[in-house]
């Protein structure tokens, strides 16, 4: 891919990973691939801001070589330790051994424990800056957004923020800028990224955005480390992050269930019809037929979560248990959640779903609905009414 000057003197030298389908192990299905963005700041001194995932080291090196010889690089900024941004660092440092690596103290520790490199490392913190000549690298620590080592780099002369993972999307593209791609795909991937990676960190994200706003630094371009660069109204994604971080939700419900012989599915269909009848926007997912990454994205702006499972061995079915374990890790706030399911004799699934709801910090707004075996006509009506009532807050 051709290098591009994203603002005067700053070149995109990262790589596109068209084939990445399972990110973070198998926690995130990246159906549209991703990119590992790296930026080369060319001034009297030259700085590389972040590297790329290790298997793409050679491509990064070639991208840089087309602009400058590698031994001219004075600084390599490591905004984040995670290997998708630091994996190429050992290869880069072989070619520019005199370069100084810049990062937070946690970054220093993390890089050492990943690569055991003996590189010259300078710790930086919020407010520190380094002059490259006419341009300056300024640093803003961003701990736990999303690792303890995370940091943003800002170039005041170009009003360019390079916030690493924040504001990214897993979206492979031949284009560099957000305004060049299909906005539906772009925002879908931005929401999926926030929901699946950043959701539990909402409180810290809102605080960090407020801190950056207080610094009163102008931002013309936001260049994240994954996906497309925001240059046209870059504050739009910041506002969206604030809305997600503040748990702003709409009158929308997500019904997720696992069924053994179809009775719990029958309940899910009737409950969801009741919710629609009461005016909610509703999405329904059989957990075994659905992409969890997508389901979690749909939950991000939903007020109502409705979880169902047949009872098996006195508890919920295993796929639903795995799904709810993931949801528990998201610690969703400002959500009303409900349980339902079919059982044969003793039950147990509804009780155990409710335990997870309570332990996750969601509000269990109403006792769950269990139905023995297959719902009859009256029980089907009861499911419909359950959906209507939960939408009405009854």
Give the catalytic positions in this structure.
Answer: 24, 80, 82, 84, 146, 165, 193, 226
The one segment of 79-87, 89-97, 185-193, 331-339 that binds ligand FEO by CB under 6 A: 79-87
Residue 337 makes CB contacts below 8 A (sequence gap 6+) with 304, 305, 306, 307, 357, 360, 362, 363, 364, 365
Residue 37 lies near ligand FEO (rule: CB under 6 A): no
- Say how many residues make up the chain: 394
Structure tokens at 150: 């995370």
How crowded is the C-beta side of 58, counted as CA atoms within 13 Å? 1
CB of 222 to ligand FEO, least distance (A): 15
Q: Which residue number places its CB atom closest to ligand FEO?
A: 82
Please, which residue, 147 or 340, has the CB nearer to ligand FEO?
147
Contact 338, 365 (CB under 8 A): yes
CB of 229 to ligand FEO, least distance (A): 15
Please, which residue, 82 or 379, has the CB nearer to ligand FEO?
82
Structure tokens at 372: 């023995």
Please, which residue, 14 or 347, has the CB nearer to ligand FEO?
14
The one segment of 68-76, 77-85, 201-209, 278-286 that binds ligand FEO by CB under 6 A: 77-85
Within 95-114, the residues that bind ligand FEO by CB under 6 A are: none
Contact 263, 371 (CB under 8 A): yes
Residue 82 lies near ligand FEO (rule: CB under 6 A): yes
H or E element at residue 49 = strand 46-49
3-state secondary structure of 393: coil
Residue 225 lies near ligand FEO (rule: CB under 6 A): yes
3-state secondary structure of 152: strand
Determine which residue in the list 106, 135, 208, 226 makes contact with ligand FEO, applying CB under 6 A. Answer: 226
CA dist list (Å): 47 to 38, 50, 93, 257, 389? 11, 9, 13, 50, 59
Distance of alpha carbon 233 from alpha carbon 227, whole angstroms:
16
3-state secondary structure of 77: strand
Q: How many residues make contact with ligand FEO (CB under 6 A)?
A: 9
Within 125-154, the residues that bind ligand FEO by CB under 6 A are: 146-147
Distance of alpha carbon 309 from alpha carbon 357, whole angstroms:
14
Return the closest-CA partner of residue 321 out of 234, 260, 257: 257
Residue 85 lies near ligand FEO (rule: CB under 6 A): yes
CB of 78 to ligand FEO, least distance (A): 12
Distance of alpha carbon 305 from alpha carbon 362, whole angstroms:
9
Please, which residue, 101 or 284, has the CB nearer to ligand FEO?
101
CB of 180 to ligand FEO, least distance (A): 22
CB of 24 to ligand FEO, least distance (A): 8
Residue 170 lies near ligand FEO (rule: CB under 6 A): no
Residue 84 lies near ligand FEO (rule: CB under 6 A): yes
CA dist list (Å): 186 to 190, 312, 343? 6, 40, 42
3-state secondary structure of 369: strand
Please, which residue, 106 or 226, has the CB nearer to ligand FEO?
226
Residue 17 lies near ligand FEO (rule: CB under 6 A): no
Determine which residue in the list 49, 79, 80, 336 makes contact with ligand FEO, applying CB under 6 A. Answer: 80
Alpha helices in the chain (DSSP H): 57-65, 83-86, 89-95, 105-115, 183-193, 202-215, 235-245, 263-277, 292-299, 318-330, 349-359, 377-391
Residue 283 lies near ligand FEO (rule: CB under 6 A): no
Residue 266 lies near ligand FEO (rule: CB under 6 A): no
CB of 259 to ligand FEO, least distance (A): 36
CB of 110 to ligand FEO, least distance (A): 11
Q: Using CB under 6 A, list all residues that contact ligand FEO.
A: 80, 82, 84-85, 146-147, 165, 225-226
């Amino acid at each position: 891919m051709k290098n591009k000057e994203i603002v005067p003197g700053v070149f995109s030298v990262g790589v596109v990973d068209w084939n990445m389908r399972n990110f973070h192990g198998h926690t995130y299905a990246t159906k549209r691939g991703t990119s590992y963005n790296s930026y080369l700041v060319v001034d009297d001194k030259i700085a590389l801001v972040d590297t790329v995932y290790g298997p793409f080291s050679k491509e990064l090196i070639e991208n840089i070589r087309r602009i400058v010889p590698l031994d001219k690089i004075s600084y390599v900024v490591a905004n984040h330790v995670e290997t998708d941004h630091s994996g190429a660092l050992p290869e880069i440092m072989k070619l520019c051994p005199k370069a100084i690596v810049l990062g937070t103290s946690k970054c220093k520790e993390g890089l050492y424990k990943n690569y055991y490199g003996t590189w010259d490392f300078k710790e930086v913190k919020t407010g520190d800056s380094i002059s490259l000549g006419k341009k300056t690298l300024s640093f803003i620590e961003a701990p736990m957004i999303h690792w303890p080592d995370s940091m943003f780099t800002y170039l005041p002369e170009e009003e360019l923020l390079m916030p690493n993972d924040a504001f990214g999307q897993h979206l492979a593209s031949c284009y560099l800028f957000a305004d060049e791609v299909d906005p539906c795909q772009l925002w879908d991937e931005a929401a999926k990224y926030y929901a699946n990676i950043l959701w539990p960190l909402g409180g810290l994200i809102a605080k960090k955005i407020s801190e950056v706003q207080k610094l009163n630094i102008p931002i013309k371009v936001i260049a994240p480390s994954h996906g497309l660069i925001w240059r046209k109204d870059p504050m739009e994604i910041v506002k969206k992050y604030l809305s997600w971080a503040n748990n702003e939700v709409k009158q929308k419900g997500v019904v997720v269930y696992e069924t053994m012989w179809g009775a719990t599915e029958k309940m899910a269909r009737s409950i969801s019809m009741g919710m629609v009848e009461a005016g909610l926007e509703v999405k329904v997912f059989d957990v075994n037929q659905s992409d969890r990454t997508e389901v979690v994205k749909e939950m991000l702006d939903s007020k109502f979560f409705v979880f169902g499972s047949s009872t098996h061995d006195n508890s919920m079915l295993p796929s639903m248990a795995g799904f709810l374990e993931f949801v528990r890790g998201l610690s969703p706030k400002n959500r009303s959640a409900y349980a339902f399911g079919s059982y044969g004799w003793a039950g147990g699934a509804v009780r155990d779903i409710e335990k997870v709801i309570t332990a996750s910090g969601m509000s269990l707004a109403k006792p769950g609905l269990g139905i023995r075996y297959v719902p009859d006509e009256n029980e089907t009506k009861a499911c419909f009414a359950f959906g209507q009532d939960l939408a009405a807050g009854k």
